[in-house]
Amino acid sequence: PVGCGKSTASKLLSKDKYQIIDADKIVHELYANTQFVEQFRKSLKIKDIYDENIINRDLLRKYLLIHPQVKNKLEKFVWKKVEDKILSILNKCQKDDVIILDVPLLFESKLNYLCDKIVLIYCSQINQIKHLKNRNINDDDLIKINQNFDIDNKKKKADYIIFNNGSIEDLKNQLNNII
């Protein structure tokens, strides 16, 4: 789930020399890639979400809240490109390398097939709201973001579960217990 500590966990693990493949970073790169943006425009025909040929994520988020029917088509388009990039990176790795995939919507994007083990990191809704407010996401947007969020289902699919309601040190200890 968004705002629960995945990125913090990735930063901690990267300090331990694990290679991190960050899906959000890939999406940021795609949204700034002129070739991708042109394909995006032609395929999805969405207007008014661009800043000088770059997809503005805030405008896109607001657009999707108003036009939720576009969300599935958009996700399918973007996730395919993200999957291609992840596979390209994985193909360059050694067989014995430990690679961490930081994918916020792992199950929704159906990229979980790429994982040998899955770690779910989540926190209380109160802490999640606090984290998201630091990112300038309001309560109404948060409610809409989490409408389709099913933590119990994700817990069943995960090999390890981290409840991240404590300090960064607590998170680090939980990660160390897994790895």
Question: With pLDDT > 90 as the criterion, what percentage of the chain qualifies?
Answer: 63
pTM of the complete model beyond 0.95: no
Burial 97-134 (b: 16+ CB within 10 A, else e): eebbbbbbebebbebeeeeeebbbbbbeeebbbebbee
Q: How far from 64 is each of 31, 61, 119, CA to CA, in Å? A: 16, 5, 28
Under the banding of pLDDT at 50, 70 and 90, the label for residue 130 is confident
Segment 66-83 mean pLDDT: 93
DSSP 8-state symbol, 51: E
Please give the single-letter amino acid code of residue 103. Answer: V
pLDDT at 113 over 70: yes
Under the banding of pLDDT at 50, 70 and 90, the label for residue 22 is very high
Q: For the range 6-15, what are the long-range contacts, defined as Cβ-Cβ under 8 Å and sequence gap of 24 or more?
A: 6/102, 6/104, 6/121, 7/102, 8/168, 8/171, 9/102, 9/119, 9/121, 9/162, 9/164, 9/171, 9/175, 10/100, 10/102, 12/168, 12/171, 12/172, 12/175, 13/100, 13/175, 13/179, 14/100
pLDDT at 87 over 90: yes
